[in-house]
Amino acid sequence: MASRQSNGRSTGRRAVTMNDVAQAAGVAQSTVSRILNDAPVPIPVSQETRARVLGIANQLGYRPDPIARALRGAPTMLLGAVVRDITDPFFAVAVEALSIEAKERGYSVVIGHARAAADEALVLTAVLEARHCDGIVLLGDFHRERHLVEDLRKTHARVVGLWHGTWLDSPFPTVGVDNAAGIRAALDHLTSLGHRQIAFVGAEMFGDEQARQRAYREHMAQIGHPAPAGYVHVTSNTIDGGRAALAPLLALRPRPTAVITATDVLAMGVLYGAYECGVGIPGELSIVGFDNIPMAAATVPGLTTVAMPMAEIVGAGVELSVGTDRWAGDGEVPHRVFEPPLVVRGTSGPAPA
């Protein structure tokens, strides 16, 4: 009975421990532990004391201390999420989905930013691995953050990368989307509407960007319309970035009749820019986005876009990290890819004559 108040939280009320329960019940603390944990195998517990202890524990409002349990090796049931830019609507939705999928498996999500800690990977590790997360999910492409990756490899947590883009030799399992198939679907949709002059607006920061841009170029060449100079416009992945991309695109000759964007955020920017410039959508210009973020359904007109199979991808990621079918760590590193369906809404229409 050394320090009694020095240890207390600021609110004063000390938590009820097993010892308290044991003392109140007049039994040993180990007995309480057995009863409360439903003694796995050893030997039957007397129904009498069992009921008494359970009653007292309940009455005293006993709650097991997960920290003490974790110290004994129990999983923390914490899933870390490393997200580069939580301001990006896409990643916001991803965090939502992650939180939901994690919860279904009894896990809680801890959010960690990467932006400021890009240099000092230690900081991030101290924030996540140090929290003893059972698993860590990387949201986006981090293969340029070498320090981070190095640190993550040393960690005990099960790391899984989502949307790692072109980084297919990742040391961690990855789950992503078939960017090429998505872009192809978008292009096929546009060509079937008569479009031939199709531009592309991309963003550097996005991990899957390279794959999407490459797929665009390849497929354009395949259909006999290799992208002319200026048809690929790279900007920042923001509404404003997309908005500013429109003017230079419309100045091109031949003038594009359709635009595919690497993300819905860019598409919304282009859409807004078109509204400002008085360009009719889809009359004068068709737009196809990528991701199908929630607001894509509420733009005017609704945004035609390649739909990210969000639940599937995030679900697979959580499963690989902390699920019952998690990767054992042996054999080949698994890389899962999901196919994105095209969602046709109002921003795509027949090519102008």
Partner DNA sequence: TTGTACGCGTTATCAT
Partner DNA sequence: ATGATAACGCGTACAA
Q: Which residues contact a copy of itself by CB under 8 A? A: 6-7, 9-11, 13, 15, 61, 63-68, 70-71, 73, 76, 78, 86-87, 89, 92-93, 95-96, 99-100, 103, 108-113, 116, 125-132, 154, 156, 158, 239, 268-269, 271-272, 275, 294-295, 297-301, 329
Output the six-digit token pair for 339: 């196919």
Give the one entry of DNA, a copy of itself, none that residue 55 binds, where binding means its C-beta sits below a cut-off of 5 to 8 angstroms depending on kind.
none
Least Cβ distance, residue 62 to DNA (angstroms): 7
Least Cβ distance, residue 244 to a copy of itself (angstroms): 13
Q: Which is nearer to a copy of itself, 215 or 270 (CB)?
A: 270
Q: Summarize as ranges the residues that interact with DNA (CB under 7 A).
A: 1-3, 6-7, 14-15, 17-19, 26-31, 33-34, 36-37, 40, 42-46, 48-50, 62-65, 68-69, 71-72, 74
Q: Which is nearer to DNA, 4 or 253 (CB)?
A: 4
Least Cβ distance, residue 95 to a copy of itself (angstroms): 7
Q: Which is nearer to DNA, 20 or 96 (CB)?
A: 20
Give the one entry of a copy of itself, DNA, none that residue 196 binds, where binding means its C-beta sits below a cut-off of 5 to 8 angstroms depending on kind.
none
Give the one entry of DNA, a copy of itself, none that residue 259 binds, where binding means its C-beta sits below a cut-off of 5 to 8 angstroms depending on kind.
none
Q: Which is nearer to a copy of itself, 133 or 187 (CB)?
A: 133
Q: Which is nearer to a copy of itself, 194 or 346 (CB)?
A: 346
Contact 241, 270 (CB under 8 A): no
How many angstroms separate the first and last alpha carbons of the chain? 89
Give the one entry of DNA, a copy of itself, none that residue 95 binds, where binding means its C-beta sits below a cut-off of 5 to 8 angstroms depending on kind.
a copy of itself
Contact 125, 152 (CB under 8 A): yes
Q: Which is nearer to DNA, 36 or 344 (CB)?
A: 36
Q: How far is CA 52 from the centre of its chain?
A: 47
Nearest to 28 by CA among 54, 53, 3, 58: 53
Burial annotation 105-142 (CB, 10 A radius, 16+ → b, else e): bebebbebbbeebbeebebbbebbbeebbbbbbbbbbb
Give the one entry of a copy of itself, DNA, none that residue 61 binds, where binding means its C-beta sits below a cut-off of 5 to 8 angstroms depending on kind.
a copy of itself
Q: How far apart are CA 51 and CA 28, in angstroms?
A: 15
Q: Is the omega angle on the peptide bond into residue 341 within 30 degrees of 0, that is, cis?
A: no
Least Cβ distance, residue 164 to DNA (angstroms): 31
Give the one entry of a copy of itself, DNA, none that residue 48 binds, where binding means its C-beta sits below a cut-off of 5 to 8 angstroms depending on kind.
DNA
Give the one entry of a copy of itself, DNA, none that residue 96 binds, where binding means its C-beta sits below a cut-off of 5 to 8 angstroms depending on kind.
a copy of itself
Give the one entry of a copy of itself, DNA, none that residue 154 binds, where binding means its C-beta sits below a cut-off of 5 to 8 angstroms depending on kind.
a copy of itself
Q: Which is nearer to DNA, 58 or 87 (CB)?
A: 58
Q: Kindly report the number of other CB atoms within 10 A of residue 247's CB atom.
A: 12
Q: How many CA atoms lie within 13 A of 5 on its CB side?
A: 1
Cα distances (angstroms) measured from residue 59 to each of 25, 29, 49, 62, 149: 11, 17, 15, 8, 48
4: which DSSP letter?
Answer: S
Q: How far apart are CA 69 and CA 39, in angstroms?
A: 16
Nearest to 320 by CA among 311, 308, 307, 333: 333
Cα distances (angstroms) measured from residue 264 to each of 135, 144, 259, 306: 29, 24, 12, 9
